């Protein structure tokens, strides 16, 4: 369905030679203005109607193929086609994470301030890699605010990233340079010799991006040490100490330990102080992966678990998870930012900071050179819209919802809470499954709920069993959505029992 045509000539390119002062893709100012207004109107309608739409819906195979295979036409189109395309081909098939009944992964809806900032930041289009511009200073400022919210010392710095995976990769590469440089094996045959002996540690509950990052920097799987976790899914410091000692005795070089603040599966927070103590006594770098739970220190209910957080060497935080900054906005925070510069400051003749008092460019603290300023602006806008109290209230909202959800599960004789917390997640199962294969049943139930389109949850493996998992990270979620979710689960279970053969993918 196309919108009515405009009262001015459409900006169509490719049909005639454009004037020299306005090459494609330039747009007539009035066309641009009208389209921006139309887009803004559509966005506000879309977001306010979103709870009425299905959480997600299956995408027709033909449409998927069209998106993958459609060729580029010879002549260009009208600017207004962008909105038409998004409305008809993209928006009806979201991941679902904008919807208040989406509980599957740690994916939030976009914060309104972040949304506006993304558009404005794209217009300014600063690159936060080199040179001087306002957004680069704003990035330094937002990183400092994040570090402060996380409870890190005032000396801290860091960079924004595309997300937690990239932040974990930067942390690992930084720690490797720090460790090898300190040993005098930053290059040459000493590097080859020592690099081949590096070992790293994390709990068995850690996010898989840690192992992926290790693979990227050339540390093979056989030198990774997933350390056992305790009954509450927290890293066991005694097991860490034993693993490190065994590796040292074998002539290996333990250099990096990751604690997780808010594990992805069950929301556990690893013990910080005992791990820092082990890292200090063995010469390791302590990285806290707080992609989800890095800001827990600001929530009074969680603060006691973050004692000692100021002593970690680095921390990953994902503002696109807990703060609803639009995807992708992650951050690596480092208590001594000099370590980042040692790892990443590579120079080129055409890229030389000018004045002697110039601050280090952000490209000297990360892998990227041309970097979006939209991240800093969207983060700044979201943080300033919330204020410090708003951040606390938001996290507390999720914690309260999760408590309610766990209470409702505990109160329902057909459901059993298996794990969850202190971060806002509930892992649960059916008590009376009536089947010898409850794992497959739970997978089927999650699938049934998703296909019905009124709610969306995931499954996860806890204690070797497949169970249902619902996490809370949507500021639009209310208590009625929790009731809806549990209703949908029980309804799916009843339907499955009534027709156990109809479990194939539609
Ligand atoms: C989500 C998550 C990551 C990965 O972050 P992305 O932004 O998805 O790349 C890493 N660690 C933990 C603990 C996470 O929850």
Q: How far does residue 163's CA lie from ligand 1's centre (Å)?
A: 7
Q: Is the pLDDT of residue 76 over 60?
A: yes
Q: Is the pLDDT of residue 263 over 60?
A: yes
Q: For residue 16, is it within any domain?
A: no
Nearest atom in ligand 1 to the alpha carbon of residue 320 is: 7
Q: How far does residue 261's CA lie from ligand 1's centre (Å)?
A: 11
Neighbouring C-beta atoms of residue 260, cutoff 10 Å: 30
Locate tokens 């939030």: which residue? 108
Query: What's the rounded Cα separation, in Å, for the pair 396 and 388?
Result: 13
Whether residues 410 and 297 share a domain: the answer is: no
Average pLDDT for 455-476: 96
Is the backbone peptide bond immediately before 94 cis, with ω within 30 degrees of 0? no
Q: How far does residue 333's CA lie from ligand 1's centre (Å)?
A: 15
Q: For residue 270, is it within any domain?
A: yes
Query: What's the rounded Cα separation, in Å, for the pair 307 and 17?
Result: 66
Q: Is the pLDDT of residue 504 over 80?
A: no
Ligand 1 pocket, 171 CB below 6 A?
Answer: no
Q: For residue 102, is it within any domain?
A: no
Please list, in sequence order, all residues whose beta carbon lies within 8 angstroms of the beta carbon of residue 37, skipping any fewer than 6 positions away: none
Whether residues 215 and 151 share a domain: the answer is: yes
Please list, in sequence order, all residues whose beta carbon lies within 8 angstroms of the beta carbon of residue 34, skipping any fewer than 6 positions away: 6
Locate tokens 């690159």: which residue? 127
Ligand 1 pocket, 318 CB below 6 A?
Answer: yes
User: How many domains would you assign to the chain?
Assistant: 3
CATH number of the domain residue 268 falls in: 3.40.640.10
Band (pLDDT 50/70/90 cuts) for residue 425 is very high
Q: For residue 224, is it within any domain?
A: yes
Band (pLDDT 50/70/90 cuts) for residue 335 is very high
- Residue 57's pLDDT is 87
Ligand 1 pocket, 106 CB below 6 A?
Answer: yes
Q: How far does residue 292's CA lie from ligand 1's centre (Å)?
A: 7
Whether residues 260 and 361 share a domain: the answer is: yes
Q: Can you read off the two tokens belonging to residue 127?
A: 């690159």
- Residue 3's pLDDT is 46
Instruction: Kindly give the pairing relationship between strand 285-290 and strand 253-260.
Output: parallel
The answer to whether the CB of 28 falls within 8 A of the CB of 11 is: yes
Q: How far does residue 202's CA lie from ligand 1's centre (Å)?
A: 14
- Residue 357's pLDDT is 59
Beta bridge partners of 225: 201
Helix H segments across 267-373? 272-282, 319-322, 338-344
Whether residues 218 and 258 share a domain: the answer is: yes
Query: What's the rounded Cα separation, in Å, for the pair 382 and 325?
Result: 6
Residue among 290, 318, 398, 423 whose CB has most ligand 1 atoms within 8 A, to mutate = 318
Locate tokens 């595309």: which residue? 162
Query: pLDDT (tens digit, 9 = 90+) per residue, 199-232?
Result: 999 999 999 999 999 999 999 999 999 999 999 9
Residue 369: name the closest of 125, 126, 127 by CA.
Answer: 127
Please list, in sequence order, all residues whose beta carbon lies within 8 angstroms of the beta carbon of residue 277, skipping any fewer than 6 positions away: none
In the chain, % of residues over pLDDT 70: 92
**347 alpha-carbon distance from chain centroid:** 30
- Residue 5's pLDDT is 43
Residue 401: name the closest of 305, 498, 482 by CA.
Answer: 482
Tell me the three state secondary structure of residue 469: strand
Please list, in sequence order, all residues whose beta carbon lies within 8 angstroms of the beta carbon of residue 308, skipping any fewer than 6 positions away: 272, 273, 276
Q: For residue 19, is it within any domain?
A: no
- Residue 117's pLDDT is 97
Q: Is the pLDDT of residue 110 over 60?
A: yes
Whether residues 397 and 367 share a domain: the answer is: no
- Residue 6's pLDDT is 45
- Residue 431's pLDDT is 95
CA atoms within 13 A on the CB side of 328: 9
Tell me the three state secondary structure of residue 429: strand
Q: Is the pLDDT of residue 17 over 80?
A: no
- Burial status of residue 467 (CB atoms within 10 A of its CB: 0-12, 13-18, 19 or more): buried
Helices (H) and strands (E) in the chain, counts: 15, 11
Q: What is the CA radius of gyration of the chain?
A: 25
Average pLDDT for 386-415: 97
Q: For residue 112, is it within any domain?
A: no
CA angle 264/267/268 to nearest 5° reads: 110
Look at 46 and 5; give whichever has higher pLDDT: 46
- Residue 253's pLDDT is 98
Mean pLDDT of the chain: 92
Query: pLDDT (tens digit, 9 = 90+) per residue, 428-441?
Result: 999 988 888 999 99
Locate tokens 């194939």: which residue? 504
Q: Is the pLDDT of residue 1 over 50?
A: no
Query: What's the rounded Cα separation, in Å, for the pair 179 and 190?
Result: 13
Average pLDDT for 250-272: 98
Nearest atom in ligand 1 to the alpha carbon of residue 263 is: 13
Q: Which helix (H) or strand (E) holds 443?
A: helix 438-452
Tell me the three state secondary structure of residue 365: helix
Q: For residue 22, is it within any domain?
A: no
In the chain, % of residues over pLDDT 90: 84
Q: What is the DSSP letter of 427?
A: E
Q: For residue 111, is it within any domain?
A: no
Whether residues 182 and 284 share a domain: the answer is: yes
> Of the ranges 326-330, 376-380, 411-415, 430-434, which one carries the lowest mean pLDDT score?
430-434
Please list, in sequence order, all residues whose beta carbon lies within 8 angstroms of the beta carbon of residue 495, skipping any fewer than 6 positions away: 448
Average pLDDT for 8-24: 61
Domain hosting 34: range is: 29-52+57-93
Instruction: Kindly give the pairing relationship between strand 330-334 and strand 314-317.
Output: antiparallel
Q: Whose CA is nearest to atom 14 of ligand 1?
A: 291
Neighbouring C-beta atoms of residue 256, cutoff 10 Å: 27
Query: What's the rounded Cα separation, in Å, for the pair 201 and 211?
Result: 10
Q: Can you read off the two tokens belonging to residue 185?
A: 């094996």
Whether residues 46 and 168 share a domain: the answer is: no
Q: Is the pLDDT of residue 418 over 90?
A: yes
Band (pLDDT 50/70/90 cuts) for residue 350 is low
Ligand 1 pocket, 291 CB below 6 A?
Answer: yes
Q: Is the pLDDT of residue 127 over 60?
A: yes
Band (pLDDT 50/70/90 cuts) for residue 348 is low
Q: How far does residue 250's CA lie from ligand 1's centre (Å)?
A: 32
- Residue 355's pLDDT is 62
This prediction's pTM: 0.93
Task: Please provide the DSSP assignment of 222-268 as one string.
Answer: GGEEEE-B-TTS-B-HHHHHHHHHHHHHTT-EEEEEEEEBS-TTT--
The answer to whether the CB of 331 falls within 8 A of the CB of 146 is: yes
Average pLDDT for 154-162: 97
Ligand 1 pocket, 234 CB below 6 A?
Answer: no
Whether residues 473 and 419 share a domain: the answer is: yes
- Residue 505's pLDDT is 44
Ligand 1 pocket, 260 CB below 6 A?
Answer: yes
- Residue 47's pLDDT is 96
End residue of a domain, out of 44, 73, 93: 93
Task: Please provide the DSSP assignment of 369-402 as one string.
Answer: SS-BSHHHHHHHHHHHHHHHHHHHHHHHHHHHHH
Band (pLDDT 50/70/90 cuts) for residue 14 is low
Whether residues 291 and 171 share a domain: the answer is: yes
Whether residues 83 and 185 share a domain: the answer is: no
Whether residues 367 and 259 share a domain: the answer is: yes
Q: How far does residue 201's CA lie from ligand 1's centre (Å)?
A: 17
CATH number of the domain residue 471 falls in: 3.90.1150.170
Query: pLDDT (tens digit, 9 = 90+) per residue, 25-50?
Result: 899 999 999 999 999 999 999 999 99
Whether residues 290 and 335 share a domain: the answer is: yes
End residue of a domain, out of 93, 117, 146: 93
Q: Can you read off the two tokens belonging to residue 89?
A: 């081909």
Q: How far does residue 421's CA lie from ligand 1's centre (Å)?
A: 17
């Amino acid at each position: 369905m196309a919108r009515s045509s405009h009262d001015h000539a459409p900006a169509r390119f490719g049909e005639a030679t454009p004037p020299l002062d306005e090459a494609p893709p330039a747009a007539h100012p009035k066309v641009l203005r009208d389209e921006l207004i139309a887009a803004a109107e559509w966005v506000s309608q879309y977001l306010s109607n979103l709870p009425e739409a299905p959480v997600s819906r299956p995408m027709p195979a033909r449409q998927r193929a069209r998106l993958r295979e459609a060729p580029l036409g010879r002549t260009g189109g009208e600017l207004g086609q962008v909105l038409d395309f998004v409305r008809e081909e993209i928006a009806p098939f979201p991941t679902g994470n904008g919807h208040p009944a989406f509980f599957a992964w740690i994916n939030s809806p976009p914060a309104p301030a972040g949304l506006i900032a993304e558009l404005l930041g794209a217009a300014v289009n600063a690159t936060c890699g080199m040179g001087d511009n306002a957004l680069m200073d704003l990035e330094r400022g937002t990183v400092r605010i994040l570090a402060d919210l996380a409870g890190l010392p005032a000396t801290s710095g860091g960079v924004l990233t595309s997300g937690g995976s990239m932040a974990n990769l930067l942390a690992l590469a930084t720690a490797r340079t720090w460790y090898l440089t300190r040993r005098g094996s930053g290059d040459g045959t000493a590097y080859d010799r020592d690099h081949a002996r590096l070992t790293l540690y994390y709990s068995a509950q850690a996010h898989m991006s840690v192992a992926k990052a290790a693979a990227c920097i050339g540390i093979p799987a056989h030198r990774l040490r997933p350390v056992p976790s305790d009954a509450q899914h927290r890293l066991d410091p005694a097991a860490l100490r034993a693993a490190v000692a065994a590796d040292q005795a074998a002539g290996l070089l333990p250099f990096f330990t990751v604690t997780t603040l808010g594990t992805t599966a069950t929301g556990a927070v690893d013990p910080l102080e005992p791990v820092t103590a082990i890292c200090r006594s063995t010469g390791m770098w302590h990285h806290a992966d707080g992609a989800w739970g890095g800001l827990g220190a600001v929530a009074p209910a969680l603060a006691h678990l973050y004692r000692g957080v100021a002593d970690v060497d680095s921390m990953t935080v994902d503002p696109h998870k807990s703060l609803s900054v639009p995807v992708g906005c992650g951050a690596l925070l480092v208590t001594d930012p000099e370590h980042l510069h040692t790892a990443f400051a590579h120079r080129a003749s055409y890229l030389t900071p000018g004045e002697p008092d110039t601050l280090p460019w952000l490209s000297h603290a990360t892998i990227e050179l041309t970097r979006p300023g939209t991240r800093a602006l969207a983060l700044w806008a979201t943080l300033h819209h919330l204020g410090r109290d708003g951040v606390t209230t938001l996290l507390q909202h999720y914690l309260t919802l999760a408590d309610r959800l766990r209470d409702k599960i505990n109160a329902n004789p057909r459901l059993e809470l298996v794990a969850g917390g202190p971060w806002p997640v509930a892992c649960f199962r059916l008590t009376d499954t009536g089947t010898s294969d409850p794992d497959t049943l739970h997978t089927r139930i999650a699938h049934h709920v998703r296909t019905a389109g009124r709610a969306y949850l995931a499954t996860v493996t806890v204690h070797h069993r497949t169970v249902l998992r619902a996490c809370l990270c949507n500021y639009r979620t209310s208590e009625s959505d929790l009731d809806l979710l549990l209703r949908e689960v029980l309804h799916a279970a009843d339907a499955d029992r009534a027709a156990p053969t109809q479990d194939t993918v539609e």
